C-alpha cells in the first residue's frame, strides 16, 4: 500500500516511495505544465532539440525561467543540460498544436550528436543575442542565458536562466502597443498526466481581480 487513504484523500510520503513512483505521482497531478522546447548547441556546433515540461517562468525582475532535468544514466545526463552547461545559452520555444508531433520526434533518445531539429524537419531562424536559433513555426521563443545549475541532492538538476530576448509572432497580439496577447492565436499545448497526455490552451475563462475590502464580506 503506497498511500494511506483517510478522510477521502490518499496521503503519500514521498520519502517512502520509489523515485519512479514519486515522479509518476507528481507528474500526474501538477497539471497542466507548459513545455519548453529547448534548442541548444554542443561545443562542436551541432544543434539539439528536446522538450521539457518541468519548466516555468519564476520571476520577471530579473526575467528568469527554470528547467528541471532528470538523470539519463545511459548517456551521462541529458544532452540539453550538457550543452547548456558548456555553452551557457539556449532557446526555449513554446509548442503550438501543429508542432506536437514534431516535438515528440525530438524527445527520442537519439545518439549524442544527432541534430533533432533536422530529424523533425524544423525551419530555424537566427536569434539576436544567443548563438542558437529559434524554431520559426513556434509562436513564442525565449533567448536564454544560463545563470546557475542547481544540484539539490538527488539525481535531478535544475537550470535557472535569464531571458534576454522574447520573440512573439505578431498575429498573436490583439493590441501590440498594449501588449494584449490573444492566447487562442498561439494555440499552445501543455503537458498532462500519463505517458502521452497533452492539453490545449483553448479552454479559457476569465475572473476579474478583486480589491480589498471584498464586497459583502466582513
Question: Where on the chain is the footprint of ligand FMN (CB under 6 A)?
Answer: 35, 48, 50-54, 68-70, 78-80, 104, 107, 109, 191
Q: Give the CA-trace dihedral at 89, 94, 99, 100, to 10 degrees.
A: 100
* Separation of alpha carbons 170 and 185, rounded Å: 10
> Which of residues 158 and 181 has its CB atom nearest to ligand FMN in the complex?
158
Q: Give me the sheet containing 198-200, strands edge to edge.
A: 33-34, 189-191, 198-200
Neighbour-count burial of 89, counting CB atoms closer than 10 A to its CB (0-12 exposed, 13-18 middle, 19+ buried): buried
CA triple 149-26-140, angle to 5 deg: 60
Q: Cell match 528541471: residue?
A: 68
Q: What is the largest CA-CA distance in the chain?
A: 65
In the complex, the smallest distance separating the C-beta of residue 65 from ligand FMN, rounded to whole angstroms, is 12
In the complex, the smallest distance separating the C-beta of residue 28 from ligand FMN, rounded to whole angstroms, is 13
* Separation of alpha carbons 31 and 33, rounded Å: 5
> Which of residues 50 and 163 has its CB atom nearest to ligand FMN in the complex?
50
> Which of residues 37 and 127 has its CB atom nearest to ligand FMN in the complex?
37
> Which of residues 48 and 93 has its CB atom nearest to ligand FMN in the complex?
48
> Which of residues 121 and 216 has its CB atom nearest to ligand FMN in the complex?
121
In the complex, the smallest distance separating the C-beta of residue 32 from ligand FMN, rounded to whole angstroms, is 11
Within 13 Å, how many C-alpha atoms sit on residue 195's CB side? 0
In the complex, the smallest distance separating the C-beta of residue 51 from ligand FMN, rounded to whole angstroms, is 4
Amino acid at each position: 500500500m503506497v498511500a494511506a487513504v483517510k478522510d477521502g484523500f490518499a496521503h503519500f510520503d514521498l520519502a517512502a516511495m520509489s523515485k519512479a513512483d514519486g515522479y509518476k505521482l507528481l507528474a500526474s497531478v501538477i497539471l497542466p505544465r507548459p513545455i519548453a522546447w529547448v534548442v541548444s548547441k554542443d561545443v562542436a556546433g551541432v544543434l539539439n532539440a528536446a522538450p521539457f515540461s518541468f519548466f516555468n517562468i519564476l520571476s520577471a525582475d530579473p526575467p528568469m525561467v527554470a528547467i528541471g532535468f532528470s538523470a539519463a544514466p545511459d548517456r551521462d545526463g541529458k544532452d540539453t543540460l550538457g550543452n547548456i552547461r558548456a555553452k551557457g545559452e539556449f532557446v526555449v520555444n513554446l509548442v503550438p498544436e501543429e508542432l506536437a508531433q514534431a516535438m515528440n520526434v525530438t524527445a527520442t533518445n537519439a545518439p549524442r550528436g544527432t541534430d533533432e531539429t533536422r530529424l523533425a524537419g524544423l525551419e530555424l531562424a537566427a536569434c539576436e543575442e544567443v548563438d542558437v536559433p529559434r524554431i520559426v513555426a513556434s509562436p513564442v521563443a525565449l533567448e536564454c542565458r544560463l545563470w546557475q545549475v542547481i544540484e539539490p541532492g538527488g539525481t535531478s538538476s535544475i537550470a535557472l536562466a535569464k531571458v534576454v530576448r522574447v520573440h512573439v509572432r505578431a498575429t498573436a497580439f490583439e493590441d501590440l502597443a498594449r501588449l494584449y496577447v490573444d492566447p487562442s492565436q498561439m494555440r499552445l499545448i501543455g503537458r498532462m498526466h500519463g505517458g502521452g497526455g497533452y492539453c490545449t490552451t483553448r479552454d479559457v475563462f476569465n475572473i476579474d481581480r478583486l480589491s480589498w475590502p471584498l464586497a459583502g464580506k466582513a
